[in-house]
Amino acid sequence: MAHDALSDGLIDLLRRNDPAMAALMEKERQRQETTIELIASENHVSPAVMHTMGSWLTNKYAEGYPGARYYGGCEFHDQIEDLARERAKKLFGCRFANVQPHSGAQANMAVFMAVLKAGETFSSLLLKDGGHLSHGMSLNFSGVYFKPVFYPLHYDLAHPESERIDYDAARKLVREHRPKVLMCGYSAYPRTIDFARFRSIADEVGALLVADVAHIAGLCASGVHPSPFPHAHIVTTTTHKTLRGPRGGLILTNDEDLARKIDKAVFPGVQGGPLMHVIASKAVAFGEALRPEFRTYCERVVANARALAAALIRRGFRITTGGTDNHLMLVDLRAKSADLTGADAEKWLEAAGLICNKNGIPNDPRPPRVCSGIRLGTPAVTTRSMGPEQMDAIAGLIDRVLSGGGQADVLASVRAGVKELCAQFAMPGMAAPVEV
Ligand code: PLP
């Protein structure tokens, strides 16, 4: 298989220096090339984003911020971080950016530290309804050190807004508990978020609105999903999902006072030295996202998600809320077969080369490890230049696996179909389609 020269050079280097690691990395590369990535939070980065991470920038300690570091030799790191910050601000249309959080959860932790004291109340969506563990799960810092009160979705399937955010119930809850922070933005929510409506709820009790757009960041940046600005006081995100950058976090705001508090909370609050190789890679990814092609990519992500959802519905699956407005969908497997669980579906699909994750559906009667749904997303397949025709083909492959009840011959035959599809749609940085 032909890959970009830097990747091939790395493998050659490792074959000589660390053959065990070279072998594992080659296996993983092949796994990615020959499977269809439907995990909604994953993507395939460009060679420029990838190789900036694997560079000499990793050698440097740069605690502090541009112009105020705790180590010498930071001249170019100051410029690198400034470039990342400037591009982030331009991309999201805001005044302040902190590009140092190591991850999305770290970004949220820093925001909590910046604006809440231990024991104070905040409001968010339940994890089991599509929220994130850093929004108040009992074992996470957010649930251990702070007090979450959760707003619900509509659970009544007969309701026209079923499985969507119940804004009126959120308003009632916020009036009752008067949280200091109201969070919106989710891990498994397929519909548009009404940031203005959330802001009006937050304003009723003087709460800060924090929008965690980790999943939809690329869509927000490109205008394919409404922007959280000017409504949110603070925006947190990951950089590695629809935004298609390196693994990492980002915090944005328009408020100077909040920006100061956030900078202090990131460093020295919750982190030490910034990952300068990752910050440089974030800058490269932001540069890519500022190009007009990125908007086209995001439009295709959503068109593909809609096509995949429609193709699954045609095959007898139920998609929660009846479809999707963004890059992801939740498939309620019980409509297909009452016995089918998310855990079995994830396992069988993986065996056939279709990679996704089991996911609870709203009001799921089964425990999270078993659950009744799978979450599917289209950022990665869209990066591979697949379109609606391939979404229909993928829905057909999923249907064959799940209707086949995990039978070995069905899995083998679908696996062959997956490899065939992958051979036609190279990952970024591959000079030629994969050989099957
Ligand atoms: N916030 C949301 C809404 C997420 O979906 C995620 C990750 O999936 C995170 C935060 C945490 O990101 P990370 O895994 O980088 O810590």
DSSP string, 116-159: --TT-EEEEE-GGGT--GGGT-TTSHHHHSSEEEEEPBP--TTS
Residues 325 and 350 in one domain: yes
Q: How confident is the model at residue 2, as a pLDDT?
A: 63
Residues with CB under 6 A from ligand 1: 41, 103-105, 132, 134, 185-187, 212, 214-215, 238
For the question of residue 145 being annotated catalytic, the response is: no
Q: Which amino acid is at 215?
A: H
Q: How many residues does the chain have?
A: 436
Could you tell me if residue 182 is inside a domain?
Answer: yes
Q: How confident is the model at residue 158, as a pLDDT?
A: 84
Q: How confident is the model at residue 434, as a pLDDT?
A: 41
Residues 242 and 320 in one domain: no
DSSP 26: H
For the question of residue 212 being annotated catalytic, the response is: yes
Q: How many domains does the chain have?
A: 2
Centre a 10 Å sphere on the Cβ of residue 167 and count the other Cβ atoms it contains. Answer: 16
For the question of residue 238 being annotated catalytic, the response is: yes
Residues 100 and 237 in one domain: yes
Among residues 4, 42, 63, 82, which one is catalytic? 63
Between CA 391 and CA 73 the distance in angstroms is 50
Q: Which residues of the chain, if any, have pLDDT below 50?
A: 433-436
Q: Beta strands 249-253 and 318-319: pairing type?
A: unpaired
Atom of ligand 1 at shortest range from CA of 41:
8
For the question of residue 241 being annotated catalytic, the response is: yes
Q: How confident is the model at residue 433, as a pLDDT?
A: 46
Q: How confident is the model at residue 160, as a pLDDT?
A: 82
Q: 133 C-alpha to center of ligand 1: Å?
A: 8
Domain boundary among 229, 259, 289: 289
Between CA 298 and CA 184 the distance in angstroms is 21
Between CA 354 and CA 336 the distance in angstroms is 18
Could you tell me if residue 188 is inside a domain?
Answer: yes
Residues 239 and 381 in one domain: no
Q: How confident is the model at residue 1, as a pLDDT?
A: 55
Residues 207 and 113 in one domain: yes
Residues 203 and 227 in one domain: yes
Tokens 């011959």 belong to residue? 409
Query: Residue 348 corresponds to which tokens in the numbers above?
Result: 């069988």
Between CA 117 and CA 145 the distance in angstroms is 9
Domain boundary among 256, 289, 322: 289
